[in-house]
């Protein structure tokens, strides 16, 4: 990054191009366009595919609001199809919602676990639909041995936001197998101008340019790309550490009937962006809010991914729910994301496990009676 600053060329330029090339190689993608966020990448892909007013795009209710907002931004209507047991868009639920207006499917690889892409691609093929993947959680995820971005989808958008597996502070990448779509996204990415600033001012010394469409301002800077190049080298290592931590959580918490460990699939290398523990509330005397507070009281910050789209006031007012999204809404009250990042020490991981165990044991309905007895016994031993 310091080299970039000293070079005198700080916006999109040689580093951005290099980052795009290296990301292509990493993901096994044919083309990649670096952008300033995943949100921008998703919007760009939908816009470049010509999706707009009167069209419907099927997506999941269990996602970040950006997934739905980009559909709205094009003028199209988001149609929510419920999640399956893998917490991703259920292909069968999506199939039930297809109408003559449906133009695209926008699946999200929740927490870094790949969707059942074969089923979604088959569905898209049968109905002539576009597929744009939200891979915000999934830098490093593989599906059936291949990187996301190397498959049949029209476009795949990755996020390099501060909290994501690979970060450029703010940033994203959108990959596509189509040279034509890449070209169209490049034009829309930079004001609708037919060539980028590098071509205009650097090598060719040509001042002339043309605006050929109404575009956006979504390009990545070379400062961010320099960070991305360094992060990309470390991505597999960082993801391996995330995986190690997830395995440790699974081993320690998997035996407790009061909680459920996250879904996995054999044909996917999980990026473990998130570790979403599910509370079996019928076995606990406390709800998720109390569990969250108890973790906080022990100095451990948790989160919830996500508040389902239909529960937000704006979407409640504006979106018609054709699928009641029963599973997503039923799962929501029991979701609790545990801390997970590549720099966590083993001690920190153990502290999280101990806190979960302690809260579970103290609040398990199964063990309430036995534990009350145990507490009384230890109080006697301690002499108080």
Ligand X SMILES: *Cc1c(COP(=O)(O)O)cnc(C)c1O
User: Rounded to the nearest whole angstrom, what is the least distance from the CB of residue 331 to ligand X in the complex?
Assistant: 16
User: Rounded to the nearest whole angstrom, what is the least distance from the CB of residue 218 to ligand X in the complex?
Assistant: 10
Nearest CB to ligand X, comparing residues 284 and 328: 328
User: Rounded to the nearest whole angstrom, what is the least distance from the CB of residue 64 to ligand X in the complex?
Assistant: 4
> Which is the catalytic residue, given 18, 164, 204, 233?
164
Contacts 24+ apart (CB under 8 A), 355-358: 355/294, 355/295, 355/298, 355/300, 356/253, 356/259, 356/277, 356/295, 357/252, 357/253, 357/256, 358/298
Nearest CB to ligand X, comparing residues 157 and 253: 157
Nearest CB to ligand X, comparing residues 26 and 306: 306
Secondary structure letter of residue 200 according to DSSP: I
CA-based nearest residue to 337, from 237, 245, 266, 256 = 245
Binding site for ligand X (CB under 6 A): 37-39, 63-64, 66-67, 108, 134, 136-137, 159, 161, 172
- The verdict on whether 164 is a catalytic residue reads yes
Nearest CB to ligand X, comparing residues 134 and 294: 134
Angle at CA of residue 85, ends 72 and 155, nearest 5°: 40
Nearest CB to ligand X, comparing residues 164 and 186: 164
H helices within the chain, ranges in order? 2-7, 14-27, 38-48, 65-74, 91-96, 117-127, 179-189, 197, 222-253, 288-297, 313-318, 326-331, 346-363, 368-382
User: Rounded to the nearest whole angstrom, what is the least distance from the CB of residue 83 to ligand X in the complex?
Assistant: 13
Tokens 């031993």 locate to: 381
Distance of CA 71 to the CA centre of its chain: 16
User: Rounded to the nearest whole angstrom, what is the least distance from the CB of residue 71 to ligand X in the complex?
Assistant: 12
- Count of C-beta atoms within a 10 Å radius of residue 285: 12
* 63 in Cβ contact with 89 (< 8 Å): no
Residues recognised as catalytic: 164
């Amino acid at each position: 990054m310091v080299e970039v600053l000293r070079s005198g060329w700080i916006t999109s330029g040689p580093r951005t191009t290099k980052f795009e090339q290296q990301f292509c190689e990493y993901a096994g993608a044919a083309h990649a366009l670096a952008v300033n966020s995943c949100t921008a990448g998703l919007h760009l892909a939908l816009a470049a595919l010509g999706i707009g007013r009167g069209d419907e795009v099927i997506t999941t209710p269990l996602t970040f609001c950006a997934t739905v907002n980009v559909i709205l931004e094009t003028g199209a209507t988001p149609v929510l199809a419920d999640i399956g047991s893998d917490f991703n868009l259920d292909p069968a639920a999506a199939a039930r919602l297809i109408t003559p207006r449906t133009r695209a499917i926008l699946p999200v690889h929740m927490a870094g676990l790949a969707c059942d892409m074969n089923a979604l691609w088959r569905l898209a093929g049968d109905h002539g639909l576009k597929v744009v993947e939200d891979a915000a959680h999934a830098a490093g995820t593989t599906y059936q041995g291949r990187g996301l971005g190397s498959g049949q989808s029209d476009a795949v958008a990755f996020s390099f936001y501060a909290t994501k597996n690979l970060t450029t502070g703010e940033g994203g990448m959108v990959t596509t197998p189509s040279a034509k779509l890449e070209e169209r996204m490049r034009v829309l990415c930079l004001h609708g101008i037919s060539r980028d600033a590098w071509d205009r001012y650097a090598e060719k010394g040509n001042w002339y340019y043309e605006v050929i469409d109404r575009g956006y301002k979504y390009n990545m800077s070379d400062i961010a790309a320099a960070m991305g190049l360094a992060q990309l080298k470390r991505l597999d290592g960082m993801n391996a550490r995330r995986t190690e931590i997830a395995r440790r959580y699974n081993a320690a918490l998997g035996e407790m009937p009061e909680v459920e460990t996250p879904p996995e699939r054999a044909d996917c290398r999980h990026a473990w962006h998130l570790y979403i523990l599910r509370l079996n509330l019928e076995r606990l005397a406390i709800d998720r809010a109390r569990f969250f507070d108890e973790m906080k009281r022990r100095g451990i910050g948790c989160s919830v991914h996500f508040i389902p789209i239909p529960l937000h006031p704006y979407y409640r007012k504006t979106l018609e729910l054709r699928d009641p999204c029963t599973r997503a809404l039923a799962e929501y009250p029991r979701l609790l994301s545990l801390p997970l990042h590549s720099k966590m020490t083993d001690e920190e991981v153990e502290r999280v496990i101990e806190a979960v165990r302690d809260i579970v044991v103290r609040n398990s309905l199964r063990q309430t009676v036995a534990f009350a007895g145990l507490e009384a016994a230890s109080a006697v031993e301690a002499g108080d």
